[in-house]
Amino acid sequence: MAHAKNHDYHILPASVWPFLTAIAVFVMLFGAVAWMSGEVTVMGVPVTGPWMFAIGLVGTFYVAFAWWADMVREAEQGDHTPVVRIGLQYGFILFVMSEAMLFVSLFWNFIKHAMYPMGENSPITDGVWPPQGIETFDPWHLPFINTLILLLSGVAVTWAHHAWAHEGDRRTTINGLAFAVVLGLVFTGLQAYEYSHAAFGLADTAYAAAFYIATGFHGLHVIIGTIFLAVCLLRFQKGQMTKDQHLGFEAAAWYWHFVDVIWLVLFAVIYVWGS
């Protein structure tokens, strides 16, 4: 131990989670492609898209929970020094920025088709948007209600964060998080209701594909954010957060506000302008 050196960085042990994450995400995405494109064969063996997608999705959630559990354990053991927490903050900010670029590409795709609608057999001429026969949603009905719900949930998260970071009020923080989680679940339920009453399917037109991909990816982020907030809620109930160390809660709040902002852009571009 003559060469041992004290430092502020936590040296992680070997972990299988990154490798398993890559496998689970690959299976999920391959299953999604097989599901949407019909029959896919691998080395002459037909692949069932829905089952493969479901297995990959379950695997992704399992690996994520296991990996996050390890991170929580590290924090409880005191491995997350101030320097480590700064690194985690920067890393999460970069992650959110990469997610923002994903939605930029989805909005770009929608706006491109809206500005230059393509006819059935013609390149970018004499098209209409939305395509003929597509019955779009009234943006000031269910989408507007969902907008209010998501904004209210963002207020609840801010209320909870202020109560903890500035006042150390655990009860108010728990109430605010619980309210935000309930609103997130309500939003997801209303989004599913909207899908079930849509007059068009994913494969109908370019509008339908762009609509479902953009709103679907946002819905997935809402589900992830709701789980994120629910985990923070459970940790607060167990007394695992302190006033000085609650980086997981801060990250969840950042993520939820990011989801709010993306929905505002999505509502304006796809529901209002695009229809």
Give CA–CA dist 37/25, Å, rounded. 18
Helix 170-196, helix 206-237: angle, nearest 10:
160
* Residue that the structure tokens 């923080």 belong to: 173
Nearest to 161 by CA among 263, 236, 79: 236
105-153 pLDDT, tens digit each: 999 999 988 887 765 444 443 467 888 778 889 999 999 999 999 999 9
**Is pLDDT larger for residue 88 or for residue 262?**
262
95-121 burial by CB neighbour count: b if 16+ within 10 A, else e? eeeebeeebeebbeebeebbeebbeee
Q: What is the pLDDT of residue 69?
A: 87
Find which of 56-65, 123-132, 164-173 is predicted with most confidence, using mean pLDDT: 56-65
pLDDT tops 80 at residue 80: no
Mean pLDDT of 56-74: 89
Q: What's the whole-model pTM score? A: 0.85
Query: Residue 22: its pLDDT value, please?
Result: 95
Task: Answer whether CATH 1.10.10.60 is correct for domain 81-273.
Answer: no
| Averaged confidence pLDDT in the chain | 86
Question: Coil, strand or helix: which one is 45?
Answer: strand
Fold assignment, 1-79: Helix Hairpins (1.10.287)
Contacts of 231 (CB under 8 A, 6+ apart): 68, 248, 252
Q: Is the pLDDT of residue 1 over 50?
A: no
Q: Which H or E run includes 48? A: none
- Kindly list the domain boundaries of the chain, sorted by start residue: 1-79, 81-273
How far apart are the two ends of the chain, measured CA to CA in Å? 68
Distance CA 57, CA 219 (A): 15
How confident is the model over 92-98, as a mean pLDDT?
95
